[in-house]
């Protein structure tokens, strides 16, 4: 029986799978101590509750160029209010676990800022700030394991718990939901958590890279209702579905009726169910269960309980321990083995997993965000998406495929999809000042939107740096750029990295055009935008600008860094990257 007087709130600041997974694992730790755990996203957590709670654990990640994730922005704005007294959170004990990636320039900055601000408002740090690094071979588990051990000891002391108050690890916790099979005759169309309120109809779907190019990239044009608005730099959010073949494969593993309606009931009244109306198991398999994702450690923390085979149980149990993480990494992460394949790998365990536990074991399909590659002014009642198909080989027989990119590029004209629009992390300046855009690969997508919008408004001085492998194979939107240049609305520079012996990238083109760019930035207050893969390009471009400030602007090293920081503060240097 959980003790509701010993209450711990765990909130996560973004809808990414990692932050929710960590939060759920912390929640299970708290429940095993027979304390009451409430897990929620910050976007669903009423800020007024801060005054009532006494112990909150924050799990948060950093997005973009050191930005707070969407679901955390309102909460952060509230914490920054100048009228908040210095002792307004003196009643609160807290700790922060940050999820970050050290390949980004502003590593874990959100967790650092949050931790500092909570203490400024009088909150008392329960255990020191922990910062996980996605670059570590074991991912966030490398930081999470020792942090959770410390948290367990601290909570035991805080709540004055005895040794026998801890629920044994060999006893499964109750499932998140109970499942009832009903006789209801009809079910509604099912979409995960009802995030999407608008419908788009696919007009065209074309591959825009050469057929013999290693990377398939598609341009998809969607028709939308007249009342829907978006601005250049905004993103379209869609929620993919599993393929019919994969759904059938998954359903074949279950020993339950798959086409009869079921109703979920949350075991905790504070927990929301994905869908209140009856849905079938097939609908959940199609639109909810992300069984093509790589299983996390928490998957095995449930899975091993139901094994009836000693050999399988021993292996599954090993995957739940800190000592077994290297072997788990080698089994799952290196070959990118997915949940569906793991379920097949343990045939003496999978049939014994109660269906209701799958909601604890398998994450929900996450909405995906794509930069809109069109201007509404140039394409009324439409939005365009530029999508690179994720497909690659590992040591496993079947190639790995990205769920969303495979789904969306497989759509046919006339197909309808639910979507929503959200603000992107980059946006056009309010003035008619020049803009400098750096967008290699599919990073050029938002800059097609920028360039088209400025052309419609007859605003010149648009400079674009593009990077591709081959001019003849993946020069994306080449006709658009040439047409805009013919109208004297755009000047573009290209770097085709594989068309000559020495590789040339966008940062090299930036460096070669230093005098022009310095004049635009320093004399004409130009804004700079960088979009694309987060791996090495953003840092390379940043270094090119810093060198330009020194060579063409005559600034020393410190002054160059300060100048770039000033541009960032003024929103004149904006970055949108993705892993």
* Rounded-to-integer distance, Cα 297 and Cα 290, Å: 15
- Mode of pairing for the β-strands spanning 55-61 and 198-207: unpaired
Strand, helix or coil for residue 221: strand
Query: Which DSSP symbol is given to 442?
Result: G
* Rounded-to-integer distance, Cα 576 and Cα 537, Å: 11
User: Is 395 labelled as part of a ligand binding site?
Assistant: no
Neighbours of 90 (CB within 10 A): 11
User: Is 100 labelled as part of a ligand binding site?
Assistant: yes
User: Is 404 labelled as part of a ligand binding site?
Assistant: yes
User: Is 58 labelled as part of a ligand binding site?
Assistant: no
409: which residues sit within 8 A by CB, 6+ positions away?
Answer: 205, 216, 218, 220, 387, 389
User: Is 425 labelled as part of a ligand binding site?
Assistant: no
Strand, helix or coil for residue 532: strand
User: Is 504 labelled as part of a ligand binding site?
Assistant: yes
User: Is 416 labelled as part of a ligand binding site?
Assistant: no
Phi, psi of 280 (to 5 degrees): -90, 160
User: Is 267 labelled as part of a ligand binding site?
Assistant: no
User: Is 134 labelled as part of a ligand binding site?
Assistant: yes
315: which residues sit within 8 A by CB, 6+ positions away?
Answer: none
User: Is 61 labelled as part of a ligand binding site?
Assistant: yes
User: Is 457 labelled as part of a ligand binding site?
Assistant: no
User: Is 108 labelled as part of a ligand binding site?
Assistant: yes
User: Is 104 labelled as part of a ligand binding site?
Assistant: yes
Q: Which residue spans within 87-157 are E strands per DSSP? A: 93-100, 124-125, 130-133
Long-range pairs of 402-406 with CB within 8 A, sequence gap ≥ 24: 403/240, 403/242, 403/290, 403/292, 403/293, 403/365, 404/238, 404/240, 404/368, 406/243
- Cα 536 to chain centroid distance, Å, stands at 19
User: Is 16 labelled as part of a ligand binding site?
Assistant: yes
User: Is 107 labelled as part of a ligand binding site?
Assistant: yes
Structure tokens at 274: 């994905």
User: Is 497 labelled as part of a ligand binding site?
Assistant: yes
* Rounded-to-integer distance, Cα 441 and Cα 462, Å: 19
User: Is 205 labelled as part of a ligand binding site?
Assistant: no
User: Is 81 labelled as part of a ligand binding site?
Assistant: no
User: Is 370 labelled as part of a ligand binding site?
Assistant: yes
Contact 576, 64 (CB under 8 A): yes
User: Is 17 labelled as part of a ligand binding site?
Assistant: yes
User: Is 403 labelled as part of a ligand binding site?
Assistant: yes
User: Is 311 labelled as part of a ligand binding site?
Assistant: no
User: Is 377 labelled as part of a ligand binding site?
Assistant: no
User: Is 506 labelled as part of a ligand binding site?
Assistant: yes
User: Is 71 labelled as part of a ligand binding site?
Assistant: no
Neighbours of 212 (CB within 10 A): 6
Rg for the chain, CA atoms, rounded: 26
User: Is 62 labelled as part of a ligand binding site?
Assistant: yes
Give CA separation, 268 vs 3, 33, 37, 50, in Å: 13, 17, 10, 20
User: Is 169 labelled as part of a ligand binding site?
Assistant: no
User: Is 297 labelled as part of a ligand binding site?
Assistant: no
Strand, helix or coil for residue 547: helix
User: Is 336 labelled as part of a ligand binding site?
Assistant: yes
User: Is 387 labelled as part of a ligand binding site?
Assistant: no
User: Is 442 labelled as part of a ligand binding site?
Assistant: yes
User: Is 467 labelled as part of a ligand binding site?
Assistant: no
- At 207, which helix (H) or strand (E)? strand 198-207
User: Is 5 labelled as part of a ligand binding site?
Assistant: no
| DSSP assignment string, 13-55 | SS--HHHHHHHHHHHHHHHHTTEEEEEEEGGGS-GGGGGT-SE
User: Is 420 labelled as part of a ligand binding site?
Assistant: no
Phi, psi of 563 (to 5 degrees): -65, -45
Residues belonging to the binding site for NADP(+) are 442, 497-498, 503-507
Residues belonging to the binding site for FAD are 336, 368-371, 402-405, 578
Residues belonging to the binding site are 14-19, 61-64, 99-108, 134, 336, 368-371, 402-405, 442, 497-498, 503-507, 578
């Amino acid at each position: 029986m959980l003790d509701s007087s010993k209450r711990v709130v765990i909130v996560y600041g973004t809808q990414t799978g990692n932050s929710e997974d960590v939060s759920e694992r912390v929640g299970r730790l708290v429940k095993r101590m027979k304390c009451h755990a409430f897990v929620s996203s910050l976007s669903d957590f009423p800020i007024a509750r801060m005054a009532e709670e006494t112990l909150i654990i924050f799990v948060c990640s950093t997005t973009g160029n050191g930005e707070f994730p969407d679901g955390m922005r309102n909460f952060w704005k509230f914490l920054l209010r100048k009228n908040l007294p210095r002792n307004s959170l003196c009643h609160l004990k807290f700790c922060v676990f940050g999820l970050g990636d050290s390949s980004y320039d502003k590593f874990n900055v959100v967790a650092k800022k949050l931790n500092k601000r909570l203490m400024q408002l009088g909150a008392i740090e329960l255990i020191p700030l922990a910062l996980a690094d996605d670059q570590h071979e074991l991912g966030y588990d490398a930081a999470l394991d020792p942090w959770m051990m410390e948290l367990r000891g601290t909570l035991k002391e805080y709540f004055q718990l005895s040794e026998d108050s801890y629920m044994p690890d060999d006893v499964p916790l109750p499932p998140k939901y109970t499942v009832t099979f009903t006789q209801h005759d009809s079910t509604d169309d099912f979409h995960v958590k009802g995030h999407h309120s608008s419908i788009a109809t696919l007009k065209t779907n074309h591959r825009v890279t050469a057929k013999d190019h290693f990377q398939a990239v598609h341009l998809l044009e969607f028709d939308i209702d007249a009342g829907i608005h978006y601005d250049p730099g905004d993103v379209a959010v869609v929620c993919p579905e599993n393929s019919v073949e994969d759904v059938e494969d998954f359903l074949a593993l279950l020993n339950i009726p798959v086409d009869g309606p079921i109703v979920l009931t949350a075991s905790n009244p504070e927990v929301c169910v994905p869908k209140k109306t009856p849905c079938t198991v097939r609908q959940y398999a199609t639109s909810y269960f992300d069984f093509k994702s790589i299983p996390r450690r928490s998957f095995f923390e449930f899975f091993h309980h139901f094994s009836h085979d000693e050999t399988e149980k021993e292996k599954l149990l090993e995957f739940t321990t800190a000592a077994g993480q290297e072997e788990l990494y080698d089994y799952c992460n290196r070959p990118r083995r997915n949940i569906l394949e793991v379920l097949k790998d343990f045939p003496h365990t999978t049939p014994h997993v109660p269906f209701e536990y799958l909601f604890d074991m398998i994450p929900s399909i996450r909405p995906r965000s794509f930069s809109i590659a069109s201007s509404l002014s140039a394409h009324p009642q439409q939005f365009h998406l530029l999508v690179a198909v994720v497909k690659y080989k590992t040591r496993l027989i079947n190639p790995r495929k990205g769920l969303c990119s495979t789904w969306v590029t497989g759509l046919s004209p006339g197909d309808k999809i639910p979507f929503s629009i959200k603000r992107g992390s980059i946006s056009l300046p309010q003035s008619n000042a020049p803009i400098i855009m750096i967008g290699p690969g599919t990073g050029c997508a938002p800059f097609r939107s920028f360039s088209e919008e400025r052309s419609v408004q007859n605003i010149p001085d648009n400079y674009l740096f593009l990077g591709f492998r081959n001019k003849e194979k993946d020069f994306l939107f080449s006709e658009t750029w040439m047409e805009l240049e013919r109208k004297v609305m755009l000047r573009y520079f290209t770097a085709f990295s594989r068309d000559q012996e020495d590789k040339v990238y966008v940062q090299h083109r930036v460096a070669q055009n230093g005098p022009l760019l310095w004049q635009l930035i320093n004399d004409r207050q130009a804004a700079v935008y960088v979009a694309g893969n987060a791996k090495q390009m953003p840092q390379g471009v940043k270094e090119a600008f810093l060198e330009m400030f020194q060579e063409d602007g005559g600034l020393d090293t410190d002054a160059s860094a300060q100048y770039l920081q000033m541009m960032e503060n003024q929103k004149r240097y904006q970055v949108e990257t993705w892993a």
